[in-house]
Amino acid sequence: MKPAPFRYVAADSLASALALKAEHGDDARFLAGGQSLIPAMNFRLAQPAVVVDINPLGELDFVRAAGAGGLRIGALTRNRTLERDALVAQRQPLVREAVPHVAHPQIRNRGTLGGNLAHADPASELPALMLALDARLHAKSARGERWIEAREFFRGVFTTALRADELLAEVELPEPRPRTGTCFMEVARRRGDYAMMGVAAVVALGADDRCTHARLAYCNAGETPVSAATAAQALVGSRIGEGQIHDVAAVAQREIDPLGNVHASKAFQRHLAGVLTRRALQTALDRAMAGR
Amino acid sequence: MTAELHAITTTVNGTRHSRRVESRLLLSDFLRHELGLTGTRVGCEHGVCGACTILYDGEPVRSCLMFAAQAHGHELTTVEGLAPERGRLHPLQEAFRTAHGLQCGYCTPGILLTMKAFLAETPSPSEGEVREALSGNLCRCTGYQHIVNAVLLAAARLRGESSA
């Protein structure tokens, strides 16, 4: 298994990388961590004419505070960095909790946030996190730049809102609301495998312990990462109890649209979504109550 | 398309090498075929088995999921670079011998390099942590039990516990 021939260019500047992409469009691919692109090239499922290696562009590898509680993360930031970074752990514990589920340490050492999101595998954890955290994604091209809301970004299996000349350059995670609790859980057949089902839960509480904000987002639950907006919205305004968690999980089970596969039937995926939603919501709620 | 060659210089196990490589040459094949370092194994060639794991600037990576051109200006360690000198073994290798941490040995180089980085970061791992750290390296012979024992033994020895 060897890739088909291609032209390799190690980018010496962001401008030159964007110029190459503008010139070659869909015939060119950006190489970030390469942990999805290179296997696809080894299988010859992907045969780009030009590979623009953006690994030399250190300016895309950063984790920065944005305001009092937000985060800005460069697209070239490795998963391993997200796993280890103290600022990520402090400001977005959901990311810290979920990233160790992404493949194996060797893969996380190379794989990047931007590459993962631009690849848009609906079974991957990170796209679901972006929905749960209301992330904004920054696209750059030779023509200019724009911000894309996470809920607008994922369009289908391996398909995003990025245009043929655009690079995903950065992700912004807004400051969590006061008294936010989060939880990520998944079930995989083995550690590091793609999840048969995974859920990211976010719950924020007001001073009276009523829910002010909630998100439920799922991986491997459809052709894109899936947000169960109706289920989550049902929590807002109430003091969340066990019975309501049960009811909301049942709504979420119907809101997702898992594809089913050889490892897990659609029915089993829905079952897992129900169990995981109840557990993750309860944990997120407990964490919000505990002020974590 | 005519093969386009890239001049690269990379340091492998402390030795600098300069070569001209084709764009599509995988780093794993570069190490084996260009440098003759056949200790790096090629298993699945799509990042699942871990047999081709090397250290890239000190971090374990799949060498089948990188291009040789990406090694330019970087430092690599392969299993050939583990032992301190000819005739001596690295403490990890010694522990794998003592604890029977291998049978056919195909997966062993990748596991040794993965564990070298793991033990540097986690000198006193639990059995569960060792198993999780091994999750990206497939072994079809041992059932992992003796590998886990070997890693725990190596960790104890590296901590200087003489009874280990």
Q: How many whole angstroms separate alpha carbon A31 and alpha carbon A200?
A: 28
Whether residue A192 has pLDDT greater than 90: no
CB within 8 Å: A5 and B70:
no
β-pairing verdict for A50-53 and A154-156: unpaired
CB B17 within 8 A of CB B35: yes
**Residue B3: band (very low, low, confident or very high) from pLDDT cuts 50, 70, 90:** confident
Looking at every residue in chain A, the average pLDDT score rounds to 97
pLDDT for the residue numbered B26? 98
Determine the residue among B70, B74, B134 to mutate to test chain A binding: the one whose Cβ has the most chain A Cβ atoms within 10 Å: B70
Mean pLDDT for the stretch of residues A17-28: 98
Q: Do B59 and A4 touch (CB under 8 A)?
A: no
- What tens digit of pLDDT does each residue of A25-56 get? 999 999 999 999 999 999 999 999 999 999 99
Q: Which residue of A has its CA nearest to B21?
A: A8
Residue A107: list chain B partners with CB under 8 A. 47, 62, 65, 136
Min Cα–Cα distance to chain B from A158, Å: 18
Among the four given CATH numbers 3.40.50.1370, 2.60.60.20, 3.10.20.30, 3.40.50.300, the one describing domain B5-81: 3.10.20.30
State percent of chain A over pLDDT 70.
100
**Å between A53 CA and nearest CA of chain B:** 8
Buried-exposed string B20-31: b where 16+ CB fall within 10 A, e elsewhere: ebbbbbbbbbbb
The C-alpha angle with vertex A198 and arms to A195 and A199, in degrees rounded to 5, equals 170
Predicted confidence at residue B162, as pLDDT, reads 66
Domain locations in chain B? 5-81, 91-158
pLDDT digits (tens, 9 = 90+) for A53-98: 999 999 999 999 999 999 999 999 999 999 999 999 999 999 999 9
pLDDT value for A191 = 85
- List the one residue out of A272, A177, A277 whose CA is nearest residue A227: A277
User: Is the predicted pLDDT of residue B1 greater than 90, yes or no?
Assistant: no
Say which residues have a Cβ less than 8 Å from residue B77's Cβ, sequence separation at least 6.
B12, B13, B54, B55, B58, B113
* CATH code of the region A180-289: 3.30.390.50
Q: What values do phi and psi take at A282, rounded to 5?
A: -60, -45
Whole-Å CA distances, A127 to A38, A116, A120, A200, A255: 20, 8, 7, 10, 17
The yes-or-no verdict on residue B163 having pLDDT over 80 is: no
Fold of A7-53: 3.30.43
Average pLDDT over residues B117-134: 97
Measure in Å the smallest separation between the Cα of A47 and chain B Cα atoms.
11
CATH 3.30.465.10 for domain A61-173: yes
B47 at the A interface (CB within 8 A)? Answer: yes
Predicted confidence at residue B164, as pLDDT, reads 63
pLDDT surpassing 70 at residue A164? yes
Domain spans of chain A, in order of start? 7-53, 61-173, 180-289
Give the pLDDT score at B2: 60
Spacing of C-alpha A164 from chain mean position? 21
Kindly give the interhelix angle for B145-158 and B108-121, rounded to the nearest 10 degrees: 40
* A104 contact B CB<8A: yes
Amino acid in position B100: H
Residue A272 CA to residue A72 CA, distance in Å, equals: 32
pLDDT digits (tens, 9 = 90+) for A223-282: 999 999 999 999 999 999 999 999 999 999 999 999 999 999 999 999 999 999 999 999
What tokens does B155 get?
Answer: 């960790």
Q: Nearest to residue A110, comparing CAs of A133, A146, A82?
A: A82
Tell me the C-alpha distance between A215 and A213, whole Å: 7
Q: Looking at the complex, does the CB of residue B133 fall below 8 Å from at least one CB of chain A?
A: yes
CB A278 within 8 A of CB A252: no
- Identify the band that residue A190 occupies on the pLDDT scale cut at 50, 70 and 90: confident
| Chain B contact probe: residue of A81, A84, A104 with most B CBs at under 10 A | A104
Three-state helix/strand/coil letters over chain B = CCCCEEEEEEEECCEEEEEEEECCCEHHHHHHHHCCCCCCCCCCCCCCCCCCEEEECCEEEEHHHCEHHHHCCCEEECHHHCCCCCCCCCHHHHHHHHCCCCCCCCCHHHHHHHHHHHHHHCCCCCHHHHHHHCCCCCCCCCCCHHHHHHHHHHHHHHCCCCCC
Residues 6+ apart with CB under 8 A from B135: A104, A190, A191, A192
Output the pLDDT for position A54.
98
CA–CA distance, B55 with A235 (Å, rounded to integer): 48
Pairing between β-strand A70-74 and β-strand A136-141 as defined by DSSP bridges: unpaired
Q: How confident is the model at residue B43 (pLDDT cuts 50, 70, 90)?
A: very high
Q: Kindly list the residues from chain A whose CB atom is less than 8 angstroms away from the CB atom of residue B26.
A: 2-3, 38, 42
pLDDT in tens, A266-285: 999 999 999 999 999 999 99
| SS3 letters across A204-259 | EECCCCCEEEEEEEEECCCCCCEECHHHHHCCCCCCCCHHHHHHHHHHHHHHCCCC
> pLDDT band at residue A291, thresholds of 50, 70 and 90?
confident
Give me the pLDDT at residue A138, please: 98
Quote the tokens at residue A212. 């002010």
Contacts for B72 with CB less than 8 Å, ≥ 6 apart: A10, B6, B8, B9, B10
Measured between CB atoms, does A5 come within 8 Å of chain B? yes
Q: Place B51 in a pLDDT band, splitting at 50, 70 and 90.
A: very high
Q: Is B52 on the interface with A (CB under 8 A)?
A: no
Interior/surface letters A46-57, b for 16+ CB within 10 angstroms, e for the rest:
bebebbbbbbbb
Please state the CATH superfamily assignment of the domain spanning residues B91-158 in this structure: [2Fe-2S]-binding domain (1.10.150.120)
What is the rounded distance in angstroms from the CA atom of residue A248 to the CA atom of residue B144? 41
Structure tokens, A222: 């459809």
pTM: predicted TM-score of the whole model, two decimal places = 0.96
Instruction: Kindly state whether A38 is in contact with chain B, defined as any CB-CB distance less than 8 angstroms.
Output: yes
ipTM of the complex: 0.94
Collapsing DSSP states into helix, strand and coil, what is residue A167?
Answer: strand
Smallest Cβ–Cβ distance between B24 and the set A6, A103, A105 belongs to A6
Q: Provide the residue type at B26 as one letter.
A: L
Q: How far apart are CA B47 and CA B27, in angstroms?
A: 13
For position B4, what pLDDT does the model report?
Answer: 85
**DSSP class of A66:** E
Yes or no, beta carbons of B26 and A2 under 8 Å apart: yes
